Amino acid sequence: MATRRSSRSSRSSNKPGLGCLLWLAAFTVVFVIFFLNLPAIRETLDRTGFSELVKGRGSETAPPSSPVGSEPSDIEDEPGPTPPATTPGGVVVVAPDAGPEAEPEPEPEPEPDSGPSALPAPTPDPTPGAAAPSGGSAPKPAPATPKTRVASLWFVRIDDDGVIVRVESRRAVPDTGSPLTDALNALLEGPSAGELDKDLISAIPAGTRLLSSVRISGSTATLNFNEAFQFNHMGLEGYAAQVKQIVWTATAFPTVTDVQFLIEGERRDYLGAEGFYIGKPLSRNSF
């Protein structure tokens, strides 16, 4: 009987030690699981704002002590952190950290003038055609493109047999609003570089020019030339060629059928010593 009682007492005394071991093992397992899942738990707390709520409440209950060596007035002037707002559903709204107050960026100072002094650049002269000052930054106005029109000009070419042949050349001439005058002035200037390449020349004496604008009466154009028009070193054929150049160029316009020649404002019957007749209006059918 005594043996049975001792065995029962030993069994009952081992039960508390076994229970402690089980609780210790359970606590260890929970601690290990908590330690392994600590990053996930922190992320969940940060995402839900629970950690910010705990920090906010802690800051309200226990304000931070002033640092050593700082004046109390400095600590009191600093605004405390704004507690997070909560919605009716219990969700904590955390305001983003505004960070230190941003200072306004200073405006850039204007660059100094590269010249010898910092004086402002002179205003460019608004007068048309005036050159802009070298130091000015305003762009120069683009020059106006002159108007042109295509005219029919008649020159001559000397063939292999020495015969003077009339040749028409169509090219652009300045347009001043007087088409016939513009065409005759271009003819008096002589052939262009491209026309010279085609062996075209002018039989009109050098220095010939119109003394006045062309006058048109009916279908007759009256042309007033200077004294140089009546001296041709090519002889009678040269006089005929120069008159034909004028007549063919003028009658290229549909409103003109003949030309009356004047020398220094006077009507003369003949040109030069050979006596080429110009006493009446001449047309293409006059030759």
Q: Cα–Cα distances in Å, from 196 out to 36, 61, 155, 165, 187? A: 101, 107, 10, 15, 13
Dist CA 8 CA 66 (whole Å): 66
Q: For tokens 């930054």, name the residue.
A: 137
Of 235, 241, 259, residue with least CA distance to 183: 259
Q: What DSSP character marks residue 209?
A: -
Report residue 188 CA to chain centroid gap. Answer: 43
pLDDT of residue 1: 46
pLDDT of residue 108: 47
User: What tokens does 80 get?
Assistant: 């405390």
pLDDT tens by residue, the chain, 287 residues: 444 555 555 555 555 677 788 888 888 888 888 778 778 788 877 777 766 776 666 555 544 454 444 444 444 445 555 555 554 544 444 444 544 454 555 454 444 444 444 445 555 555 555 455 555 566 777 777 788 999 999 999 999 888 899 999 999 999 999 999 999 999 999 999 999 999 999 999 999 999 998 999 999 999 999 999 999 988 899 999 999 999 999 999 999 999 999 999 999 999 987 789 999 999 999 98
173 sits in which H/E element: strand 164-174
Of 242, 247, 214, residue with least CA distance to 229: 242
Dist CA 256 CA 27 (whole Å): 125
Dist CA 59 CA 222 (whole Å): 111
CB neighbour list of residue 42: distance below 8 Å, 6 or more residues apart: 51
Of 251, 161, 154, 246, residue with least CA distance to 200: 154
Taking the model in full, what pTM does it have?
0.51
- Name residue 157's beta-bridge partners: 165
Residue type, 148: T
pLDDT of residue 241: 95
- Name residue 220's beta-bridge partners: 217, 258
- The three-state secondary structure class of 86 is strand
pLDDT of residue 128: 52
User: What tokens does 160 get?
Assistant: 């292999």
User: What tokens does 262 get?
Assistant: 């004047």
